[in-house]
């Protein structure tokens, strides 16, 4: 039979077979390596975009804070106000000047402050409008409620109180700047937080400091990052 069909070289056939498989495996490895490199490049590119947004956010945050501080530095002490660098919250922290106890009606003293503050505040932020998500007027109270009220009753009473106060502030500011009415309606919100963000020192609530109204500039960096992630 060997004379008729010839002798089969088993070792040679086996070698050719494994050489073909090894070439296939090497090719697949190259393909996977190429895919991995492309994926890494895409990921790095997206990370760079997010990093750029984060850097721009930080620079913008600092620029807004410095602009507010430069404009209002001489007014802060007489208004009983502070500016928080981290949150860009402009805090009015003299509750007796802002509203009468348990009232949502603006005091005459606070109206006088808003007459000066509100137009200047809007103009200071004008150059940064493209990077702002919104300006939020935030109302805060202490946890103290009406006499005899439960904790829950005090919370929801103060919720209505804080919401009513921020609405009153927004209405007054809106009337001060009729030329900016459309922008104000679209970009300024009034929110009441009740006592959920009370000021605590050494585990004890500072009731006076907790009663405040804040104007907070909120940038849109998170929206930009979300758009980058959704574009993939």
pLDDT single digits (tens) 45-100: 666 665 666 666 778 888 999 999 999 999 999 999 999 998 999 999 988 899 99
Q: Do 82 and 76 touch, CB atoms closer than 8 A?
A: yes
Confidence band, pLDDT 50/70/90 cuts, at residue 183:
very high
More confident residue, 19 or 216: 216
Spans of all domains in the chain: 49-229
Q: Is the pTM of this model over 0.85?
A: no
pLDDT at residue 18 tops 60: no
Token pair of 61, please? 């945050």
Class of 49-229 in CATH: alpha beta
CA distance 57 to 64: 10
pLDDT for the residue numbered 96: 82
Bridge partner list, 191: 138
**C-alpha distances in Å from residue 121, one per residue of 32, 112, 127, 128:** 56, 14, 12, 12
Q: In what order do the strands lie in the sheet with 81-84?
A: 81-84, 89-92, 212-219, 132-140, 188-192
CA distance 176 to 159: 26
Token pair of 144, please? 């103290």
Q: Which residue has the tokens 């106890």?
A: 101
């Amino acid at each position: 039979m060997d004379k008729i069909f010839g002798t089969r070289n088993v070792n040679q056939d086996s070698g050719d077979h494994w050489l073909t498989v090894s070439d296939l495996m090497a090719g697949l490895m190259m393909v996977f390596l190429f895919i991995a490199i492309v994926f890494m490049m895409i990921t790095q590119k997206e990370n760079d975009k997010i990093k750029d947004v984060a850097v721009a956010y930080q620079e913008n945050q600092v620029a807004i804070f410095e602009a507010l501080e430069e404009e209002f530095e001489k007014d802060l002490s007489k208004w009983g106000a502070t500016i928080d660098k981290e949150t860009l919250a402009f805090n009015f922290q003299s509750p007796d000047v802002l509203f009468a106890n348990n009232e949502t009606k603006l005091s005459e003293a606070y109206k006088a402050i808003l007459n000066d503050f509100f137009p200047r505040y809007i103009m200071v932020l004008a150059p940064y409008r493209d990077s702002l998500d919104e300006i939020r007027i935030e109302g805060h109270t202490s946890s103290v409620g009406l006499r005899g009220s439960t904790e829950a009753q005090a919370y929801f009473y103060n919720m209505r109180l804080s919401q009513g106060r921020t609405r009153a502030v927004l209405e007054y500011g809106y009337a001060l700047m009729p030329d900016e009415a459309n922008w104000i309606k679209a970009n300024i919100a009034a929110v009441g937080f009740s006592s959920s963000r009370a000021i605590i020192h050494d585990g004890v609530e500072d009731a006076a400091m907790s009663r405040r109204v804040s104007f907070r500039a909120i940038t849109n960096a998170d929206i930009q990052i979300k758009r980058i992630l959704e574009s993939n």
